[in-house]
Structure 1
Amino acid sequence: MPGLNHVDAGGEPLTLSLSATLTVTKLSVGPMDNNAYLLPSGDASLLVDAAADAPRLLAVTGNQLDTIVTTHRHGDHWQALSEVAEATGAVLRCGRPDVHAIATGAWVENLSGLWDGDQVVVGNERLEVIGLVGHTPGSIALAYGGPDGTHLFTGDSLFPGGPGKTASSVDFSSLMDDLEQKVFARFDDDTVVHPGHGDDTTLGAERPHLAEWRARGW
């Protein structure tokens, strides 16, 4: 049964209103069912993860794009980055510890780093950057606090059912610590989580399972 804000792989995009001045269009691209999120506000626009299928992303953006934020260094999240950046001239941002890996992997220049407390501007709106160390050293989430609630774009750090994959117990503990302290301790249950793959969820749906995730170790 489809979950919250479900989109089919390669299917039609879904557009949601986050506020009177900001919407998000979610679409699934590429063979790994990656979510890409376009957030337009007025004449400005932000793309979260140019993951794959550059022609489709460019069609959705209309070749007009101000900023691309890559949530982390794994290749399935930046396969279309170079082509979309070249076509649009967008400013490129990512988590500071992942800058080198993404720049060399995707063959892009002028990629600048973000971390805790930084903000990404789109039109008159701002999204807060949250560093979440564990899935990769430079994974980030973007938080938008709209009048109707908070929206978190979490990349592969948080999904329905648990945190993203980690390579060691140290990385897992780091990611869980960051999620508990920087996400679950700060934002309320109505906060919507928009992950890097699959359906959305809410912090309220996931919060009761934090101890379970700790105990299972993944």
Structure 2
Amino acid sequence: MSDEYTGHVEPDGDWQDRTDGHLFVRKLSVEEFDNNCYVVACTRTREALLVDVAARPQRLLEALEGFSPVAAVQTHGHWDHVRAWEGVRDAGIEVWGHPGDAPLFPHDVDRELSDGERLAVGDVEVEVLHLPGHTEGSLLYLAHGEERPHLFSGDTLFPGGPGNTFGNVDNHRRVMDGLETQVFARLPDATWVYPGHGDDTTLGTERPHLQEWRERGW
């Protein structure tokens, strides 16, 4: 993989690219809430997914130039992650997401995604992980490169802990249970984590803090 990738991008600034075998990842941030959006693509076929239609549809479409979009896939339905829905959809790109967030989405999704589905993106297989808590329909997306797994975690996992569950004790427990069983128990420390806002992290960096997160709540 390229040593030039840092995982830090400025809102509406330059994007960063990295390649790990047949997997290509482009990271960019849009607007004042520092929403991260990602292009996840196959280096051979140039087929791609766009992760989150957060904002700045023209900017997202620019990031997709040279690729053949399969779809845009949503990590969840909070308003700051769906503001470019119409612009992306009007460009002919379907938007997919989990039905649990249907009340939050501005429109019906073109395809409902469920836990365990595997999306073919050329030679890249992207696994859908349903991990509710931050929202009922929160999804993570897992792809494997030659060197490491790559996990697009939305607002479910950040550097320093899980996403906000707004004081709901049951939802915090659900997030922690899901992270421990579906993510940390099955994936290695080298797994690279791409969150919905801010800088990247790895599972190895975050693993020692799981019990601390569970006890503190959020």
**Fold match (TM-score > 0.5):** yes
1:189 corresponding residue in structure 2: 189
CA gap 1:110/1:136 in 2 versus in 1, 3 angstroms: closer
SS of residue in 2 equivalent to 1:170: helix
How many residues are paired up? 210
Question: In structure 1, what is the Cα distance between the partners aligned to 2:97 and 2:162?
Answer: 20
Q: Which whole-Å CA distance do the structure 1 matches of 2:24 and 2:10 have between them?
A: 19
Contact 1:127 1:142 (8 Å CA) reproduced = yes
Q: Partner of 2:76 in structure 1?
A: 72
2:8 maps to what in 1? 6
2:63 corresponds to which residue? 60
Q: Which amino acid aligns with 2:31?
A: G
Q: How does 1:160-175 map to 2 (within 5 A)?
A: 160-167=159-166, 168-175=168-175
Q: For 1:58-207, what aligned pairs fall within 5 Å after superposition?
A: 58-62=61-65, 64-87=68-91, 89-102=92-105, 105=106, 107=107, 109-167=108-166, 168-207=168-207
**Alpha-carbon deviations, 1:45-78, whole Å to 9, x = none?**
1100011011111111128522100110101111
Q: Percent identity?
A: 44
Which consecutive aligned stretches of 4+ in structure 1 deviate over 3 angstroms post-superposition?
A: none
Tell me which moved more, 172-181 or 93-102: 93-102
CA spacing shift, 1:186–1:172, aligned 2, 3 Å:
same
Shift of 1:114: 1.2
Query: CA 1:100 to 1:157, structure 2 compared with 1: closer, same or farther past 3 Å?
Result: same
Structure-2 separation of matches of 1:96 and 1:189: 31
SS at match of 2:209: helix
* Partner SS state of residue 58, structure 2: helix
Q: Distance in 2 between matches of 1:135 and 1:40?
A: 27
Structure 1 unaligned runs (5+)?
Answer: none
Q: Distance in 2 between matches of 1:158 and 1:199?
A: 11
Q: Runs of 5+ in structure 2 lacking a partner?
A: none
The structure with the largest helix share of the pair is 1
Whether the 8 Å CA contact 1:97–1:113 is kept in 2: the answer is no
Q: Is 1:99–1:111's contact at 8 Å kept on the other side of the alignment?
A: no
Q: What letter corresponds to residue 165 of structure 1 in structure 2?
A: N
Give the superposition deviation at 1:4: 4.6
Q: Report SS of the residue matched to 1:211.
A: helix
* Deviation of 1:124 (Å): 2.1
**Deviation sequence 1:156-182 (CA, Å, 0-9, x none):** 000000000002011101111000010
What is the TM-score of this pair, normalised by structure 2?
0.91
In the superposition, the TM-score normalised over structure 1's length comes to 0.91
Distance 1:47 1:39 in 2: 6
Aligned to 1:29: 30
Shift in Å at residue 110 of structure 1? Answer: 4.8
Q: CA RMSD in A?
A: 1.6
Q: Deviations over 1:138-159 (max 9, x none)?
A: 0000011222110000000000
